[in-house]
């Protein structure tokens, strides 16, 4: 085809206005073509990204299903007496077996404290693990040793808090008894510890 610049030179000889209009026309056409090409690439990119997202979602769902099935098989492996529950002794004994630790490792679980992990999983505090507690507990710990540490720490803090509340209650009872026997001494002691009790309460 004829180069647009040759046409432009012809228009320049005839009319500068026509030359300017030609430049504007060529610019608009080029920009329109660029927009079309860009739109095609953007649409393709969006479709690819959507497909990748769908694939990742499907893969993740399948991975979770496989993990749940693996945990159920592990539960049956640990439940030696086939009672449908796992005791602490069964759990501790299982962690001493290499095949069980291999299964935990294959699922991305880092189980390092049998008693601590068991107590965290035992949500209803009945000293046995049902299959739901075991599966959900393992899923919470998967691939995150820090999550396990935090859960263990939370449990310990709750125990300490409960112990402190009990100790404060006992101290209050002792102070009341002391105040009954020695009103002056009891009042002075209560006055001295009141700021401490307020601090603990906050």
Q: What is the pLDDT of residues 16-25, one digit of tens each?
A: 777 777 778 8
| 4 φψ region: left (φ > 0), alpha (ψ -120 to 50), beta (else) | alpha
Task: Please name the helix (run of DSSP H) or strand (run of DSSP E) that holds residue 87, with its range, or none.
Answer: strand 86-87
Sign of CA dihedral 13, 15, 19, 25: negative
- CA–CA dist 126, 19 (Å, integer): 91
Q: Let me know: does 119 contact 155? Beta carbons within 8 Å.
A: yes
Question: Per-residue pLDDT averaged across 85-89, rounded?
Answer: 90
- Predicted pLDDT at 202: 45
Is the pLDDT at 198 greater than 50? The verdict is: no
79-147 folds as: Recoverin; domain 1 (1.10.238)
Q: Could you report the per-residue pLDDT of 27-52, keeping only the tens digit for each?
A: 888 888 888 878 777 777 777 777 67
Does the model's pTM come out above 0.75? no
Domain ranges in the chain?
4-59, 79-147
Q: Let me know: does 136 contact 68? Beta carbons within 8 Å.
A: no
């Amino acid at each position: 085809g004829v180069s647009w610049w040759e046409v432009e030179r012809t228009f320049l000889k005839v009319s500068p206005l026509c030359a300017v209009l030609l430049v504007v026309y060529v610019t608009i056409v080029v920009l329109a073509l660029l927009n079309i090409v860009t739109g095609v690439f953007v649409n393709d990119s969006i479709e690819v990204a959507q497909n990748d997202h769908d694939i990742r979602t499907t893969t993740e769902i399948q991975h979770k299903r496989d993990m749940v099935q693996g945990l159920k098989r592990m539960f049956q492996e640990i439940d030696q007496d086939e009672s449908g529950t796992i005791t602490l002794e069964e759990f501790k004994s299982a962690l001493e077996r290499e095949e069980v630790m291999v299964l935990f490792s294959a699922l991305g679980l880092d189980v390092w404290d049998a008693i601590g992990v068991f107590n965290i999983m035992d949500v209803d505090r009945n000293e046995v693990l049902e299959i739901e507690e075991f599966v959900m507990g393992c899923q919470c710990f998967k691939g995150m040793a820090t999550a396990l540490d935090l859960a263990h720490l939370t449990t310990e803090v709750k125990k300490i808090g409960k112990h402190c509340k009990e100790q404060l209650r006992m101290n209050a009872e002792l102070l009341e008894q002391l105040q009954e026997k020695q009103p002056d001494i009891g009042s002075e002691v209560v006055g001295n510890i009141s700021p401490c009790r307020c601090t603990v309460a906050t």
